[in-house]
Chains A and B, each alone.
Chain A
Amino acid sequence: VARAGGDGGGNNEVQWCFLQVKGAIDEDVAEADIISTVEFNYTGDLLATGDKGGRVVIFQREQETKSRPLCRGEYNVYSTFQSHEPEFDYLKSLEIEEKINKIRWLPQQNAAHFLLSTNDKTIKLWKISERDKRAEGYNLKDEDGRLREPFRVTELRVPTLKPMDLMVEASPRRTFANAHTYHINSISVNSDYATYLSADDLRINLWHLEVTNRSFNIVDIKPANMEELTEVITAAEFHPHHCNVFVYSSSKGTIRLCDMRSAALCDQHSKFFEEPEDPSSRSFFSEIISSISDVKFSHSGRYMMTRDYLSVKVWDLNMENKPVETYQVHEYLRSKLCSLYENDCIFDKFECCWNGSDSTIMTGSYNNFFRTFERGSRRDATLEASRESSKPRAVLKPRKVCTSGKRKKDEITVDSLDFNKKILHTAWHPMENIIAVAATNNLYLFQEKVN
């Protein structure tokens, strides 16, 4: 039933067009090429991806020009660099993957761009800067860089700046290491633009961006006896406006909101969000599928969204006992949980994201499907990121999974779904209807159809 009014947006449902696809086409996917994180910066002009091979690729949106009016909003490679390398901790006999778990941009404060990238153990601050001029006419060295003979320097001249081809350089400015015993799952930049948090399975640390040799532990859920361990931290995020507030989610489907003003160690939560469960419906799978894989505040800061295995929930921060909205992502998988447990898919960690006005949310599924949910109208769509529908400006056709009875034309049965084609990472431009969808080793970009 459609509701009258609703949040933002017009009454017409957004139609998506293919914009671009990045990455190799060949069937054999190298593990290093699997995209592990996607993030737009604050203006949406830059889009960063991280992969299992520890590499970061940043795309920049092309400016619309009179000579290329049809290339509206195309994203092209701006910079790429190796962020993390594989490591072996000999003291603990621990193999540390170079996979980039998360990238978070810092708000831009000068000409350069800064981002944080993290693997399981180490967070790095990268500076990405442009160089389009170089100095010429040095006194002590000639144009090749060779030192001039001192007696040949008969007069002084002032070096001048001459234009050169644009060069984009990425340099590591800070390395925040040795603060996490367990595997980092989240980083979040604070609205004070000076601090950020990093969360692993059992602890959350607070850092100052300028200080690498010290971090403050603000949450510690490690039990004195590890035999008593019952839950782990799965995600954490700072509130977008209140620099003292953050939330963290758990493997038991709960979210805790903490206020750093109330105590130095935020083991005591200020708010505890949990949807009551019907005890009679409890099964072996209940806890596993309730584990929250992602938590995201709305841009407004009034709501937060959580993703568990089968659904996305929107919570009002003022109401702890249940979410205000629940959207089923792929409920038909409930009758496949046994095989999804056997092939480990039940442990897949899907992310979710808001659009700029918080009126629509998006999350991924299997078979390269992703889902959008319009909150006001309750309209939902299932779309597919595939090479077949990748013609310029081709409108994406909605897909449908056949859950019972006869399969209609163009529908796909649950058993035909490809569970190796997972869309775990998606991102929405902060202001416009442009979305980035990571399909294993390919990055798809879609934008709203303009008439």
Chain B
Amino acid sequence: MEDKVLSPEKAEEAKLKARYPHLGQKPGGSDFLRKRLQKGQKYFDSGDYNMAKAKMKNKQLPTAAPDKTEVTGDHIPTPQDLPQRKPSLVASKLAG
């Protein structure tokens, strides 16, 4: 007879798989790790950007979907995708 009692961890796993059926089998595998290694990567090519703008003339360039964190495929990075210049550094409040 099968043991029907699930450990809390396995119950949580079932919950996750129900919400995200396409989630990969190996979370600790290369996709997850490679994303970790890619932290900080930003893309912008002024040549691509200006040529695309010229081609589209007055139309809007396709922008990335809001939930996309990586820039790939049809989306040509715009200056809006670049990290904004950080505000001037001030003294730490711990020293105040």
Is there an interface contact between B91 and A55, defined as CB atoms closer than 8 Å? yes
Is there an interface contact between A33 and B34, defined as CB atoms closer than 8 Å? no
- The residue from B9, B15, B19, B36 contacting A201, defined by CB atoms under 8 A apart: B36
Is there an interface contact between A57 and B33, defined as CB atoms closer than 8 Å? no
The yes or no answer to B94 lying at the interface (CB within 8 A) is yes
Which A421-451 residues sit within 8 Å CB-CB of chain B? 441, 443
A306 to B29, CA, bound (A): 22
Is there an interface contact between A33 and B43, defined as CB atoms closer than 8 Å? no
Is there an interface contact between B41 and A94, defined as CB atoms closer than 8 Å? yes
Is there an interface contact between A57 and B13, defined as CB atoms closer than 8 Å? no
Is there an interface contact between B9 and A54, defined as CB atoms closer than 8 Å? no
Is there an interface contact between B42 and A95, defined as CB atoms closer than 8 Å? yes
Chain B contacts of A92 at CB under 8 A? 41
Type the 1/0 row for A76-103, where 1 means its CB is closer than 8 Å to any CB of B.
Answer: 0100101001101000111111000000
Most buried by A among B15, B40, B41: B40
Is there an interface contact between B92 and A251, defined as CB atoms closer than 8 Å? no
Q: Return B47 CB to nearest CB of chain A, in Å.
A: 14
Is there an interface contact between B83 and A88, defined as CB atoms closer than 8 Å? yes
Could you give 24 example pairs across A and B, Cβ below 8 Å?
Answer: A23-B94, A33-B92, A33-B94, A53-B92, A55-B89, A57-B94, A85-B89, A86-B86, A88-B42, A93-B42, A120-B40, A183-B39, A201-B37, A227-B30, A228-B30, A229-B34, A232-B37, A252-B28, A284-B13, A287-B27, A335-B9, A335-B11, A337-B9, A441-B93
Chain A contacts of B52 at CB under 8 A? none
- The residue from A22, A226, A337 contacting B94, defined by CB atoms under 8 A apart: A22
Type the 1/0 row for A373-404, where 1 means its CB is closer than 8 Å to any CB of B.
Answer: 00000000000000000000000000000000
A230-B30 CB under 8 A given contacts A55-B89, A57-B95, A284-B23 = yes
The yes or no answer to B21 lying at the interface (CB within 8 A) is no
The yes or no answer to B75 lying at the interface (CB within 8 A) is no
Type the 1/0 row for A334-345, where 1 means its CB is closer than 8 Å to any CB of B.
Answer: 111110011000
Is there an interface contact between B33 and A229, defined as CB atoms closer than 8 Å? yes
Is there an interface contact between A336 and B12, defined as CB atoms closer than 8 Å? yes
Interface residues on A, range: 35 or more
Is there an interface contact between A24 and B96, defined as CB atoms closer than 8 Å? yes
Assuming A49-B94, A57-B94, what are 18 further A-B pairs, CB within 8 angstroms?
A24-B93, A51-B92, A77-B94, A80-B95, A88-B42, A92-B41, A93-B44, A182-B37, A183-B40, A229-B33, A231-B28, A252-B28, A283-B10, A284-B23, A286-B9, A335-B9, A337-B16, A441-B93
Chain B contacts of A86 at CB under 8 A? 86
Interface of B toward A, CB cutoff 8 Å: 7-13, 15-17, 19, 23, 27-30, 33-34, 36-37, 39-44, 83, 86, 89, 91-96
The yes or no answer to A285 lying at the interface (CB within 8 A) is yes
Chain A contacts of B11 at CB under 8 A? 335
Is there an interface contact between B30 and A334, defined as CB atoms closer than 8 Å? no
Q: Return B37 CB to nearest CB of chain A, in Å.
A: 6
The residue of chain B having its C-beta at the shortest distance from the C-beta of A59 within the complex is B94
A55-B12 CB under 8 A given contacts A95-B40, A228-B30 = no
A251 to B37, CA, bound (A): 13
A287 to B96, CA, bound (A): 42
Q: Return A244 CB to nearest CB of chain B, in Å.
A: 29
Type the 1/0 row for A255-284, where 1 means its CB is closer than 8 Å to any CB of B.
Answer: 000000000000000000000000001011
The yes or no answer to A243 lying at the interface (CB within 8 A) is no
Is there an interface contact between B37 and A284, defined as CB atoms closer than 8 Å? no
Most buried by B among A77, A231, A337: A337
Is there an interface contact between B34 and A226, defined as CB atoms closer than 8 Å? yes
The residue of chain A having its C-beta at the shortest distance from the C-beta of B95 within the complex is A80
The yes or no answer to A218 lying at the interface (CB within 8 A) is no
Is there an interface contact between B17 and A284, defined as CB atoms closer than 8 Å? yes
Is there an interface contact between A232 and B36, defined as CB atoms closer than 8 Å? yes
Which A1-40 residues sit within 8 Å CB-CB of chain B? 22-24, 32-33, 35
- The residue from A82, A97, A227 contacting B40, defined by CB atoms under 8 A apart: A97
The yes or no answer to A288 lying at the interface (CB within 8 A) is yes
The residue of chain A having its C-beta at the shortest distance from the C-beta of B85 within the complex is A86
A231 to B29, CA, bound (A): 8
Is there an interface contact between A281 and B37, defined as CB atoms closer than 8 Å? no
